[in-house]
Chain A
Amino acid sequence: EVQLVESGGGLVKPGGSLRLSCAASGFTFSSYSVNWVRQAPGEGLEWVSSISSESNYISYADSVKGRFTVSRDNAENAVFLQMNSLRVEDTAVYYCARDGAGDYGFDYWGQGTLVTVSS
């Protein structure tokens, strides 16, 4: 069974840092791109970042570029999102999602982890 489990969320002050993890199981992790998608309270989905299977292609939304860094460890079946210089507007549930359907489709999602940025 394919599973994605996020962890690392919590309460952090503006300007602080947090590292999210996404642990994958049930599939050949090293064959798939993984994305981070966030959802602010009461708002819609916002794509945050993508990392290809071998980490050779990485992209970010403009809203997080220069502050967030995505990485992965295929030996550990995990993807990470290092979030620095956090802002109040980064408050959201962060999901990791596998890009595994055809050419584009996030077919499996984790349950999400809540990041709250507040003083």
Chain B
Amino acid sequence: QSVLTQPASVSGSPGQSITISCTGARSDVGSYKYVSWYQQHAGKAPKLLIYDVTLRPSGVSNRFSGSKSANTASLTISGLQAEDEADYYCSSYTLSGVYVFGPGTKVTVL
């Protein structure tokens, strides 16, 4: 099955913007618009931030945005806030008919 790669950690100061990358292959991220992003605070269930590459569910702050170029999807958090400190996971549907998650990125607000 496909493997997605994400940076292990990303940090930024309050108010800054950070970007988390999610690199896959033509068989997953590169083939579909089926990429989503999740935020998970310690001890909590994941929360959907972005679906279909760029779309935000209602109630999710517009500080979160998604994009994709070729086999790499990206999540950008603008105006970083203390509450954004969490783990972030990308996920994609694959040509094999299964889903995969990235290994996760720990975001630290300095």
Contact = CB atoms under 8 A, between A and B. Distances in A.
A19 B46 CA distance: 22
A109 B98 contact: no
B14 to A, nearest CB: 26
Interface residues of A, number: 24
Interface residues of B, number: 30
A11 interface: no
A101 B45 contact: no
Contact of B99 (A35, A62, A101, A112): A35
A73 B26 CA distance: 36
A66 to B, nearest CB: 14
A103 B45 contact: no
A107 B57 contact: yes
Given A45-B101, A61-B98, A106-B36, A101 B46 contact: no
Given A106-B48, A109-B46, 15 more contacts: A44-B102, A45-B101, A47-B91, A47-B100, A47-B101, A101-B55, A104-B35, A105-B48, A105-B51, A105-B52, A106-B36, A107-B48, A107-B51, A109-B45, A112-B45
